[in-house]
Amino acid sequence: MAVGKDEDPVETEFFQVSSTVDREDIASLLVKRVVKARLAACGRVSGPVTSVYWWKDGLHREEEYLMVFKTTSMAVNKLVEYLKKNHTYENPEIVVTPISGGSAEYLDWLRVETRG
């Protein structure tokens, strides 16, 4: 479910979107493409991080790379759809978190950079 499709996300203007992949080169490529397309003002790759999760009736422990994007309400759904379409996982983790506040200058910059 994407934010804003069926309901207003409480008029939040800014969002942080996170996802993980199993390879650093894939994470770097996705971040570069998302930012270049202005679906996010910035993106970050961290890792490797260790993830422990249930999948297909088994407990898994894997090294992954965490991608974090900052975006706006105008771009968040397109960003989520882009990640779904271009992700290497069958059921990728894509989590959208509202940003409730922050530096006014930073948020102004975020707004400008996602307008393209």
- pLDDT tens for 17-32 read 999 999 999 999 999 9
Task: Indicate the pLDDT class of residue 116, thresholds 50, 70 and 90.
Answer: low
- pLDDT tens for 43-97 read 999 999 999 999 999 999 999 999 999 999 999 999 999 999 999 999 999 999 9
- 38-57 exposure pattern, b = at least 16 Cβ within 10 A, e = fewer: bbbbbbebebeeeeeeeeee
When the pLDDT of each residue in the chain is averaged and rounded to a whole number, the result is 92
Helix 24-36 crosses helix 76-86 at what angle (to 10 degrees)? 140
Class of domain 14-113: alpha beta
Q: What is the domain partition of the chain in residue ranges?
A: 14-113
Sheet-wide strand order for 42-55: 42-55, 58-72, 14-21, 94-99
- pLDDT tens for 35-56 read 999 999 999 999 999 999 999 9
- Report yes or no: 57 and 48 within 8 Å, Cβ to Cβ: no
CA–CA dist 85, 3 (Å, integer): 16
